Amino acid sequence: MQLELKNVSYTYGKGTVFEVNALSNIDLMIEEGQFIGIIGHTGSGKSTLIQHFNALMQPTEGKVLFEGEDIWGEKYDRRALRSKVGLVFQYPEHQLFEADVLTDVAFGPKNQGLTKAEAEARAREALVQVGFPEKFYGHSPFELSGGQKRRVAIAGVLAMNPSVLILDEPTAGLDPKGRDEILDQISYLHSKRGITIILVSHSMEDVARYADRLIVVNDGKIPYDGTPREVFAHYEELEKIGLAAPQITYIMHDLAAKGLSVDVHATTVEEAKKSILAALVGKGARR
């Protein structure tokens, strides 16, 4: 078990009149190599939850274990933990600060105690992994386009060689092409390097397409946790908490209602296509 949350609760402003329960009694296990999608509407507690994974927030109650060890134990090295559990915040390009791209990406590895040459090698590796063109390595990160800045920022976390990579809406504010490119890169990292990926997203299509496990957060609790097919089967309940199923799931339900025997649990366009073609062929054969 890589990451484990045991009965975790978090309260903002504990002991004041402004007390807010952001997480209540969360139990969660994350195994190595999973691709996890986290969905939930704004203010549901997603961001609070992911900040518990790398010890940026301390639970007011409960325990967080990384590889079996309590990360809030007295002797635990939380700085080392943060390089194993990489967290890419929303709009990560706001954290860029160095004079050129390469030095900025090398900031993380340098903090891990690597030499300048080693850190730069790691930075180059990470930049290649996010598909950042080499001719811009010496440019100022502030001169780049939004999508390129985002790649640099993601590379900055990736360069620390984390075994878990958490991304908080990595595609917010990007155009469709930039979005697909970044998500494809993440999925490639997952399959090539076997990194555990935790992807927070507002797009049901994205999580349905990439994640093999979906965690729904609502009101500081986890009402649903399972494969996208299982979770999206509850699409009516999801709508009540401000979420939805992928559009294609709705189309499949409508088709089924019209009498076509298709798989209503299909969550991606590819799955749906197969199921519809099979159903049409079946219908044709019967005629």
Partner 1 sequence: MRNITIGQYYPADSILHKLDPRVKFLGTLVFIVSLFLIKGLAGYVFVTVVLATLVKLSKVPFGMMLKGMKAIIFILIITVIFNMLFTPGEAIFTIWRLSVTKEGAVQAFRMAIRLSYLIIGSSIMTLTTTPNQLTDAMENLFSPLKVIKVPVHEISMMMSIALRFIPILMEETDKIMKAQIARGADFESGNLIKRVTNMIPLLVPLFVSAFQRANDLAMAMEARCYHGGEGRTQMKPLRYEKRDYIAYILMLAFAAAAVCFCIFGGGWI
Residue 201 binds partner 1, judged by CB under 8 A:
no
E-strand spans in the chain? 3-12, 20-30, 35-39, 61-66, 69-70, 85-88, 164-168, 196-200, 213-218, 221-226
Kindly provide the residue ranges of all beta strands, DSSP E only, lying in 85-212, ordered along the sequence.
85-88, 164-168, 196-200
Taking CB under 8 A as the rule, does residue 107 contact partner 1?
Answer: yes
Mark out the alpha helices in 5-141 (DSSP H runs). 46-53, 78-84, 101-105, 107-111, 116-129
Beta bridge partners of 39: 216
Among 21, 24, 112, 203, binds partner 1 (CB under 8 A): 112
CA atoms of 132 and 214, how far apart (whole Å): 29
DSSP state of 221: E
| Closer residue to partner 1 in complex, CB, 142/188 | 142
CB nearer to partner 1: give 10 or 235. 10
Nearer to partner 1, 25 or 60 (CB): 60
Residues 47 to 106 in contact with partner 1, rule: CB under 8 A = 51, 54, 56, 79, 82-83, 86-87, 89, 92, 94-97
Pairing of strands 69-70, 35-39: unpaired
Of 25 and 161, the one with the shorter C-beta distance to partner 1 is 161
Provide the mask over 145-184, with x wherever binding to partner 1 is found by CB under 8 A and - wherever it is not.
-----------xx--x------------------------
Q: Which residues bind partner 1 (CB under 8 A)?
A: 51, 54, 56, 79, 82-83, 86-87, 89, 92, 94-97, 107-108, 111-112, 142, 156-157, 160
